[in-house]
Amino acid sequence: MNQLIRCIPCNEIFARTPYDQWPEYEYVSGSAPEPYRTVKKDEFQVFLKHHRNHPMEDLEILEDSFVSEKPYSEPTKVSYFKATNGKEKFVIKRFRKRIDEPLSYQLIQGDYSLKLLRFEIQPEEIIKQLKRELDNPPLPEHQLEAFLKLYQQVLKTIDIKNLERIPEDSTHPLEIYYKMDEVSLAYLLRNCRVIFKGQEYNEIEAFIHRQREDGVLLLKAIYQIQIVEAAQSKKETLPILHAIEGKKYVEKK
């Protein structure tokens, strides 16, 4: 885990990694056949020099607080996580502008929350799966549509707070899947009796049971990261630098 150090008056942070004392490889464009050159630098020493005699403190990263706006595989994504000094909470924004740049960290005094943008069923996946599984004889179009319409109606009665989140890895960090609750399941099955009769009903019931736990009947929620900044006090604290209590890191000689 990274160690986070905050310069209190400047409100800047440094994230120490186990590697930050190692030589860094820097990309040099157009210099084939050796496009990388080694740069020996100790970023932490640079940080300490820049903030000489400033009081510092260690921040503790809050577990499970990482969120990101883009898929995990995206190298230039912006991520946020929460950290605390024991008294105040902070949001740390981690980003890199270009793939060949080191990660940057920005400290935001405040907090973030996830705002629900959309809550929906997966219509295309449901139709595809119904056609695949109930194909002897295939379901007529009007029944497929009636099923979708019914499931949309069920969705409207659901409070997302009562649902169980599916922990499976989504490729996108802000897309979360939920399993429909028992009450909604009963409502769906009861109304399916209006659309499907006899053997057809038995098949759709079996389909629903097969697909509701981890299949196409999962409900999909899309969230947005909302950052709430606390009032800044940086300007006022600067003149009384010496009065701020903090830790001192000493530069290497």
Binding site for Zn ion (CB under 5 A): 7, 10, 51, 54
Residue nearest to Zn ion (CB): 10
* Minimum separation from the CB atom of position 242 to Zn ion (A): 13
**Spatial contact of 248 and 56, defined as CB atoms under 8 Å apart:** yes
* Minimum separation from the CB atom of position 56 to Zn ion (A): 8
Of the two residues 10 and 78, which places its CB atom closer to Zn ion in the complex?
Answer: 10
* Minimum separation from the CB atom of position 224 to Zn ion (A): 33
- Torsion sign across C-alpha atoms 203, 205, 207, 210: negative
Of the two residues 164 and 251, which places its CB atom closer to Zn ion in the complex?
Answer: 251
* Minimum separation from the CB atom of position 177 to Zn ion (A): 44
* Minimum separation from the CB atom of position 54 to Zn ion (A): 4
Of the two residues 107 and 208, which places its CB atom closer to Zn ion in the complex?
Answer: 107
Of the two residues 54 and 82, which places its CB atom closer to Zn ion in the complex?
Answer: 54
Alpha carbon distance 169, 219 (integer Å): 15
The residues, any chain, with a CB within 8 Å of residue 67's CB and separated by 6 or more, are 79, 80, 81, 112, 114, 173, 174, 225
Of the two residues 10 and 166, which places its CB atom closer to Zn ion in the complex?
Answer: 10
* Minimum separation from the CB atom of position 163 to Zn ion (A): 46
Of the two residues 10 and 225, which places its CB atom closer to Zn ion in the complex?
Answer: 10
